[in-house]
Structure 1
């Protein structure tokens, strides 16, 4: 598992996936929590509000992983 994070290209792909997933979760959460709040059941509304927290968390994790991948790529190229 640790060796999977060694490759900067794989780490970058994972980071991009987390960024996209976080953005989608945030948009779905915002739409559910604020645009369709009158039509949703209480449990679904609570879930939509939870997505407005989880989406940005995934965005932040993906951004940090992307920076880490960029740093690893630059350090490998510096030693070449």
Structure 2
């Protein structure tokens, strides 16, 4: 499982999914908690208010994962395939 996180391309795809899920949770929470509040029971209302907190948290986590994976992708591309430095004896 840890090998999955060692590949920057995998982390980039995962970060996109985390960003989308966080955005969906945030928008669903806002619409449900503030526009449909009179039609919902207490459990649903508390759950939707929690989504307005968890959604932005997932957006932040996904964004940091995206930044790290893009940084690691650039670092992998910048490494030369071979080294041609001469070693003095």
Structure 1 residue ranges, 4+ long, deviating more than 2 angstroms after superposition: none
Query: Is 1:6 aligned to 2:15, yes or no?
Result: no
Matching residue of 1:24: 24
Q: What SS does the corresponding residue of 2:25 show, helix, strand or coil?
A: helix
Q: TM-score, normalised by structure 1?
A: 0.97
Q: Which runs of 5+ in 2 are unaligned?
A: 81-89
User: How far apart are 1:77 and its partner, in Å?
Assistant: 0.6
Bigger Cα Rg: 2
Question: Which is helix-richer, 1 or 2?
Answer: 1
Q: Give distance in 2, aligned partners of 1:28 and 1:37.
A: 12
Matches within 5 A, 1:56-67: 56-67=56-67
Is 1:33 the equivalent of 2:33? yes
Unaligned runs of 5+ in 1: none
**TM-score, normalised to structure 2's length?**
0.87
